[in-house]
Amino acid sequence: MRTPKLRNGDLEITLSLETTIKLNNGVDMPILGFGSWKLERKQVKDPIKWAIDSGYRHIDTATLYNNEKYIGNALKDIEVDREDLFITSKVWDSDQGYEQTQKAFEKSLKNLNTDYLDLYLIHWPREQRKETWKALEKIYDEGKARAIGVANFATHHIKELLEKFETVPAVNQFELHPFNYSEQEELISLCKEKGIQVEAYSPLTHGKKLGYDLLESIASNYDKLSAQILIRWSLQHNFICIPKSGNKQHIRENTEVFDFELSEEEMDKIDSIDENFRLLYDTSKWD
């Protein structure tokens, strides 16, 4: 069997569920995370346990997802030390602003039953993003978040932050899969150039493209599922990937992506899918 490898800067590393990517401040972030968007309230308890049992140590949530408290409760019942987990949350639009963001952050900590976050993000580039970023810098300086970053920021939002602030976001999390990859290439290049880690949400297109011929045919070469091809594609691009599922079997299957490697030709073919397909907003059109 070929040993799957990933180029991480000059290092060639073997990809596994334990693989982490070093962020621009030295913090190690697991390359595969468990996405919790759309798992609301009590729906999240079992999936969190299944995810931890399957080996995930990275959990992505947000105030908007209405599940922080339930994730916090679920984590009380698992036997993994807090320092072995990587927890991300995000400040919601209505909480943006210097004071409000700090309050929202404290509430997230309380709900998640933790005294720090591994990563705290601005969820969307709204009008008050500059004041919000100042609040995130304060939270970071106080050691309450190990890293800070943004989500759904387009190139002009990133450039604006870089011009006006000292702290370079550690991560930009945005919708990313082969069906919108071409239109995101400029943003991906900018992030790479500036040392901002790209994190892909909705990597499975909410299931909408799992029947796509090319994915199915590549999947059959490896006796895998289209979903696993999508995750593997993301990981081989060095994107942090956070597939979501509430189904025990799918949660496990989504981790079974480390025993094969897509060839360069397959990666190129998948890269060339150019469908301009999005589930959510195109923020490049936002002020």
Binders of ligand 1BO among 17-76, rule CB under 6 A? 37, 62, 64
Q: Cα separation of 215 and 88, whole Å?
A: 30
Query: From the list 50, 56, 140, 201, which residue makes contact with ligand 1BO (rule: CB under 6 A)?
Result: 201
Contact criterion met (CB below 8 Å) for 118 and 82: no
CA distances from 115 to 102, 105, 118, 224 (A): 14, 11, 10, 40
Between 66 and 73, whose beta carbon lies closer to ligand 1BO?
66
Triad 206, 252, 212: Cα angle to 5°? 35
Between 6 and 172, whose beta carbon lies closer to ligand 1BO?
172
Of 248, 243, 240, 238, the C-alpha closest to 227 is 243
| Number of neighbours of residue 285 by Cβ within 10 angstroms | 7
Q: What values do phi and psi take at 240, rounded to 5?
A: -75, 135
Q: Cα separation of 111 and 21, whole Å?
A: 27
Does residue 174 belong to the site contacting ligand 1BO (CB under 6 A)?
no
Q: Minimum CB separation from ligand 1BO for residue 130, in Å?
A: 21
Q: Which of 56, 65, 140, 201 is the catalytic position?
A: 65
Clarify whether 212 is annotated catalytic. no
Between 121 and 273, whose beta carbon lies closer to ligand 1BO?
121
**Nearest-CB residue for ligand 1BO:** 37
Between 4 and 35, whose beta carbon lies closer to ligand 1BO?
35
Q: Minimum CB separation from ligand 1BO for residue 134, in Å?
A: 22
Point out the residues that are catalytic: 65
Contact residues: ligand 1BO, CB under 6 A: 37, 62, 64, 201, 280
